[in-house]
Structure 1
């Protein structure tokens, strides 16, 4: 398997960050805005699991596999911690990455720092961060995901906050489904956003890697990758015995189907013949659900 070069540390050292800001434990403290949303390299020994973490079982085999990936690539997605004061941090999200990093022998871990009562400040910091021109596609996707996870924003509300079309937000979020090495390749500009959008429609990670390695080896264009993905789907259909009378949807139609399903919170299906004729089916549970969907369509 092709390995991308290991990435350097993602954030500033914690001591350097705190030297500039002083002791900050709450959003009400001076310089809190310089802490919230920042990434710092924190010593693993100062990070502690959340005692109220509902997940208590972690697959040893899966952790070992993740540890191997971390040794090769470093951490693609920082964990999120809450600062407790006295150089102590509690994990909010990312305990699996934390455990795997310990297995991998890392001494520090990149982490987003949260403070007490910082919800509004965090949302503002993330939205501002997304507007920065130097961010790569994965960094933008991670910021979108944090707005969803930590600020409890829907994709619709988030698209309003950041001034982007909902379909644009959805396309970025889909990048987080890419195999980690492919994500690293996108961050390091070894492939383009167009390449990544074609690859992400392939669910199997091994197939993602084969396509990614072929892109690098043969310098494939986005159109060539889209053709390769289409042929892969056709081969899978033939192997599984699935009838191929209904052609595979072009990528742009797949995106429309996914965007409609997310917007309407319904399992929308879209079909299209070789001549371009097709239909969109939007199921509803009852009259109330019908009115809800109708309201969303008219909004």
Structure 2
């Protein structure tokens, strides 16, 4: 416990140093820079601006509230990383979720690592650190890789070294950007896995991608089944007919029709079981709390 108190006291001392105009630090060679760069410093929240290079575009409100509750109880365990912009002004490099959650809690200060870097270095640090540490969806990762290639002028080989991923892995992510935007949105919302996306990208016509995407949702196709469907499409084979259901598990035609309508309306996998008399049950699949809320709003109108 004494050790933690000492670190916090050090952070407060460095904070005072950073507020002294006579000790303004703008480069690694400046006086006292070695005391600040790489150390944990308590920075005032209102001196920090968000990073325009942040690759994450979706911040789930519910998970932010959960993180805020954790911070309220335990404090900010992992410091954010910032870069110095001007006197007593900083910009986020990584840790925007922690920064946002700390604002929700009402914290006045937040522990931070300070780095001194130019815009290009900041962009690279933000993208690389978020790819490695944040729970980005496959499309966000692909977009981050593409930005590193376009804006930092990295080849796939050099990018592989920077992020510690095989070149083939990076290539597979980048190929996802060839998917139709509707399919990409489905991946971002959790309807499709990366495996589904990797199979669909082998279909060049966007309208056919969307057609198969709808079938994946309606029929709850696995990755392997999707790969088989893509192979049949490429070979020009007719679709494999569905297995004839047995008497025990047969679904009446009226139920099949309603299942398809519900799947399309809810944009989620729906399974409907019913007897010829009309008695049965509905199962709706979802992949996240956010998706559950979306489905609930569609059903209840609230």
**TM-based fold match above 0.5:** no
- TM-score, normalised relative to structure 1: 0.43
If asked which structure has higher relative contact order (CA below 8 Å, sep 6+), I would say: 1
**Greater Cα radius of gyration, structure 1 or 2:** 2
